[in-house]
Structure 1
Amino acid sequence: MPPAPPRPVFQLGDAVIATPGNLLAVQAKAKAGKSAAIGALIGSTLDPTGDCLGFVSENPEQLAVVHFDTEQSPYDHYKTMMRALHRAGRRDAPPWLRSYLLTDLPLKQRRELIPLELERAQAACQGILAVIIDGIGDLCLDPNDPEEALALVDEIHRLAIRFDTAIVCVLHENPGTDIGKTRGHLGSQLERKAETNLRLEKDAHGVTVMYSERARSCFVARDDGPRFAWNEEAKMHLSTNVAFKSKGKAKKDPNAPRSNSRVTKAKALFGEYFAQGKSVRRALLAAVVPVEQKIHPNSFKNYWIELKTNGLIVESSTVAGMFEASPEWAKELASDYPEEEEGKA
């Protein structure tokens, strides 16, 4: 029998970005808001009452959440954890939230302590919901050494599988580049192995957007990604409706509705197959669309989900597996794909 579908560990809005046995790569340039995002990620596991910047998680079994900080000073580490608790509306950390500062330890000792602590956490809490390594680059001597980089990512991935948990790996992007390239061979290998690559990008006005356009099971376009900025009154980063301003592009109206580019793409890919009142079998589309539209079969599945969850297609009540456009989408398709007049060449 095939394995059961994985349970979501973390979501960004409705998009599942982390599941057990997998890696979630979080990347950003320096001072782009990574610590705020990590605090919000942790806060989302604590049954929060406050703003977790769009992250969603559930931990009814109170499994361990283990956080390793390899980058910050003791005070900055403390602030990250206090803000995580504040987002959740809590004053004290539950016993299953286990956070460790490793900055003052030698590299070899950091690597040795991580699996030991995961064994302790699993025994104490009967399982591990998530592990967060804030600074995976500080677990290797040279991120540009391909042998060392591949070995580190392989080691972390094996820990995710061994402990049936999602491991979040935070890594800096190279300075002076806008294409999202992370540090050396370590960044390249982590990008290949990660279930989701979550990118944080900050504009000149202090607005950070989170998005993922490189993932196995989701797609969060930059235009649709959650945004946050520093709030002086709250003394922490909070979600914002202020538009993200990318380089060289005009600023969008903050009051304008945000487009769902994923749905737009799905409608463009499938429109011709459902035009003019056609009913089509899903199995036939699964065979034809990836070839004709030059997309991966996994992308077909994701776009199909977009059509269904947004009510654009309905299944026949009499023939299983047969679908047609919803009445609302059918009206759009009638305009986009008009029937040819009889007798016209």
Structure 2
Amino acid sequence: MNSIDINDLLSETNRGLDVFKHYLGASFDGGRKPFKSPFYDDSKPSCNIYLDKNSNRYKFKDFGENERPVDCIGFIGRLRSFDLNSKISFLSLLQLINNDLALGLERKTDSEIPQQQKQSANIEAKLKFDDNQKIGNINYQNFRNQEIDYWCKYGINIEILRKYNVKSVASFNGISSSKKNYTINSNSSQPIFAYCFNDYTKLYRPFSKLRFLFIGKKETDYIFGLEQLPLKDDLLFITGGEKDVLSLSANGFNAICFNSETANIKTEILYEFSKRFNHIAMLYDCDKTGIKSMDSIVNQNKQLGLLKLLLPLSGEKNEKDISDFFNLGNSKGDLLQLFVNELNKTYINTINTLKTCEVNLNNPPKIQPSILSINESSIGSPGNIIGITGTEGSGKSNFVAAIISGCLNPMKDDIDTLGVIINDNANSQAVVMFDTEQSIVQLHKNIDSVKRRAAINDLPEWFKAYSLVALNRKERFKTIIESVDKFYYEFNGIHLIVIDGIADLISSVNDEEQSVELINKLFQMAHQYNTLIICVLHMNPSGIKLRGHLGSELQRKASGILSVEKHKDQDNSIVKAIKLREANPLTVPIIQFAWQDSIQQHEFIGFMEKGDFQSKKISKLKSFAQHKFANNSIIQSSELGDYLMEHFDIKERMARNYIKLMRDNLIIRKESSMQNAYILVNTAN
């Protein structure tokens, strides 16, 4: 067997430049730009590759060291810890470079090459000639039974071979680096297969010492299996060789491989794959080289979250790669279980957190008593947020003050909480109010009114009220979070939090991202401190819906929304439930309260009769219909439903109920000449 000649190696690698490119990878762009040393933690790029004209070889120079420049052999020797003073070690290094770059320099002597056997079924494929190509003729043949049996050991059938354009080779005629013709023939003990691409072919000889040989113009970034990948999917395996890709594909997995396990994979290539696949798993041989390469790739690309699967094999020959794994009788399910086990390691913190959120019917959660209710209907309980809304001057701040007063006096029979029932704060936990709209002077007056309504001489130390008007918006929420945390430990819990003016905690109520983030944080705070948070937010000027994206998000997440409105026909305010998660809002009575000069505060004056409320709703629907039908004498049912949902900020089911209510009260009727269309009954009323 002939040994590799160093001059042939340099000739085949552009005087060693290709060797530097292969082993340095992305850190060396092939030009004159300095790069960091691979031998130590280099803070500044101080290394370069240059052409030494005296030796006609490319050399490596580190200006941060006093060492002499070295060619590619000396560089790789140091990089891979080879003793270049030893002939055996030196020849082993040449063989390593030859294999890693698939140079194909080691050839059999003429006496070792059998004569080519002519076969009538052969098809000759001539590759295009180019100065940068190895050239030669590949004679293909149909797969022989022995060759099919070889692939079937790994679960690879003829359909998979065709899918990946794998062919059987009868012989290959080539020209060596010393310009001599040679021939390699396939036989039963030394089969040859070809991985065929557009401009080049990679020959594979599974039982030969020289197993791989590139013919043609190889791509810079060789990726086998790339064309067979779906555009998007869940899992991609990066494995060590083409046979492993075929074996994985035969078992229903997406897989690719690069030129070898020691190839430097560019981060930008992995990044592109990460956009197409949810998980990328490294699946190299479970020997020392494969494990070391996987560790290196995973560590260099931590931002991509690559997984490393270690096969439960010995690592010895015929028991180290995924093809061997399947050949030994393991199944697709066994590989998936290995993947799940590795995924569990990655998600261990998430899984542990998720266990605390799991619903267990054998261990039901403790039923929380309602903190705020109207009659027997719960409005808000610990761990939730509720919204209180209304237009300017509707009386919502006075209504909120009444709720707070109910928390301050345990003897609630003697005080007026404007129709709401407040659960006892028996453990004297903190009650905290933050106001982002009123000045400290106005808030002082309001809190004095709270004290008078609560019928107490002094405010308890566990009640805190703050005006945050002087703080900027970013500081306000930070102040709320930190002070609540302090009071939680100081008073052994939080009974109630009131934030009057949550719109002033973000830059704009129409900023969707800020709105979602704020409501999520408030919801998390309510859960963390097992308390109820009351969020006060203005209605839109129209009085129909809550303000902006913030109002929409509050309405989605809140367990209840109470609307405080000024009664049009009387000098009083009403409070009605427009959303409840723990009760039906239609069953909750409507609160009425009004200002009483004799006591200088608002007073609960009873619940509104359902008939009064229904009459008010019908009046609103009549006004709506007159406006919509003014320019459209006939409106389709679906279009009318859309108008109602937009105008009243309601869902489709409620819109259908409103249409029925308008029909029942003779506001609209069906148009007989058209299907599913309505007209106005009487525009005069």
TM-score scaled to structure 2, two decimals?
Answer: 0.35
Matching residue within 230, 233, 237 for 2:602: 237
Paired AA for residue 159 in structure 1:
M
Matching residue within 436, 447, 456 for 1:81: 447
* Correspondence 1:2-21 to 2 at 5 A: 2-21=364-383
Contact preservation (8 Å) 2:589, 2:607: no
Task: Evaluate the alpha carbon distance shift between residue 222 and residue 155 of structure 1 in structure 2; reply closer, same or farther with a 3 A threshold.
Answer: same
Higher-Rg structure is: 2
Matched, 1:200 2:564: yes
Contact preservation (8 Å) 2:591, 2:607: no
Matched, 1:137 2:499: no
Task: Evaluate the alpha carbon distance shift between residue 73 and residue 222 of structure 1 in structure 2; reply closer, same or farther with a 3 A threshold.
Answer: farther
Q: Deviations over 1:273-325 (max 9, x none)?
A: xxxxxxxxxxxxxxxxxxxxxx9xxxxxxxxxxxxxxxxxxxxxxxxxxxxxx
Contact preservation (8 Å) 2:590, 2:607: no
Greater alpha carbon shift after TM alignment, 164-173 vs 42-51: 42-51
Percent of residue pairs bearing the same amino acid type: 32
Matched, 1:227 2:592: yes
When the two chains are superposed, the root-mean-square deviation of aligned CA atoms in Å is 2.1
Contact preservation (8 Å) 2:589, 2:608: no
* Correspondence 1:117-156 to 2 at 5 A: 117-156=483-522
Q: Secondary structure at the match of 2:407?
A: coil
- Distance (whole Å) between structure 2 residues aligned to residue 121 and residue 54 of structure 1: 29
Q: Secondary structure at the match of 1:44?
A: helix
* Correspondence 1:321-336 to 2 at 5 A: none
Matching residue within 183, 189, 196 for 2:553: 189
Contact preservation (8 Å) 2:377, 2:588: no
Task: Evaluate the alpha carbon distance shift between residue 2 and residue 81 of structure 1 in structure 2; reply closer, same or farther with a 3 A threshold.
Answer: same
Q: Secondary structure at the match of 1:2?
A: coil
Shift of 1:75: 2.5
Structure 2 residue aligned with 1:96: 462
Structure 1 residue aligned with 2:385: 23
Q: Secondary structure at the match of 1:67?
A: strand
- Distance (whole Å) between structure 1 residues aligned to residue 602 and residue 615 of structure 2: 25
Paired AA for residue 90 in structure 1:
I
Q: Deviations over 1:39-69 (max 9, x none)?
A: 1010111223211101222111111111101
Contact preservation (8 Å) 2:577, 2:588: no
Structure 2 residue aligned with 1:43: 405
Task: Evaluate the alpha carbon distance shift between residue 236 and residue 192 of structure 1 in structure 2; reply closer, same or farther with a 3 A threshold.
Answer: same
Q: Deviations over 1:199-249 (max 9, x none)?
A: 111113221111213111123449821210111121111111495877974
Greater alpha carbon shift after TM alignment, 194-203 vs 83-92: 83-92
Task: Evaluate the alpha carbon distance shift between residue 223 and residue 7 of structure 1 in structure 2; reply closer, same or farther with a 3 A threshold.
Answer: closer
- Distance (whole Å) between structure 2 residues aligned to residue 103 and residue 232 of structure 1: 30
Paired AA for residue 203 in structure 1:
H
Contact preservation (8 Å) 2:379, 2:582: yes
Matching residue within 418, 421, 445 for 1:56: 421
Paired AA for residue 206 in structure 1:
D
Contact preservation (8 Å) 1:121, 1:128: yes
Structure 2 residue aligned with 1:306: none
Shift of 1:13: 2.7
Contact preservation (8 Å) 1:212, 1:222: no
Flag the structure with more relative contact order, 1 or 2, with Cα contacts below 8 A and sequence separation at least 6. Answer: 1
Q: Secondary structure at the match of 1:133?
A: strand
- Distance (whole Å) between structure 1 residues aligned to residue 447 and residue 378 of structure 2: 24
Q: Deviations over 1:48-95 (max 9, x none)?
A: 321110122211111111110111122221122112211211121101
Structure 2 residue aligned with 1:300: none
Show structure 1 runs of 5+ residues with no match.
251-294, 296-345
- Distance (whole Å) between structure 2 residues aligned to residue 63 and residue 242 of structure 1: 31
Shift of 1:33: 0.6
Task: Evaluate the alpha carbon distance shift between residue 237 and residue 221 of structure 1 in structure 2; reply closer, same or farther with a 3 A threshold.
Answer: farther
Contact preservation (8 Å) 1:45, 1:56: no
- Distance (whole Å) between structure 2 residues aligned to residue 116 and residue 54 of structure 1: 33
Paired AA for residue 379 in structure 2:
I
Structure 2 residue aligned with 1:260: none
Paired AA for residue 528 in structure 2:
R
Paired AA for residue 416 in structure 2:
D
Greater alpha carbon shift after TM alignment, 199-208 vs 237-246: 237-246
- Distance (whole Å) between structure 2 residues aligned to residue 193 and residue 146 of structure 1: 14
Q: Deviations over 1:98-152 (max 9, x none)?
A: 1111111111110110011111111111000110000101101011011111011
- Distance (whole Å) between structure 2 residues aligned to residue 176 and residue 3 of structure 1: 42
Matched, 1:32 2:394: yes
Matched, 1:216 2:581: yes
Q: Secondary structure at the match of 1:240?
A: strand
Aligned length: 249
- Distance (whole Å) between structure 1 residues aligned to residue 584 and residue 538 of structure 2: 21
Matching residue within 453, 469, 472 for 1:106: 472
- Distance (whole Å) between structure 1 residues aligned to residue 523 and residue 616 of structure 2: 38
- Distance (whole Å) between structure 1 residues aligned to residue 607 and residue 387 of structure 2: 26
Contact preservation (8 Å) 1:50, 1:86: no
Paired AA for residue 400 in structure 2:
I
Paired AA for residue 140 in structure 1:
I
Task: Evaluate the alpha carbon distance shift between residue 203 and residue 9 of structure 1 in structure 2; reply closer, same or farther with a 3 A threshold.
Answer: same
Contact preservation (8 Å) 1:18, 1:195: yes
Structure 2 residue aligned with 1:329: none
Contact preservation (8 Å) 1:28, 1:173: yes
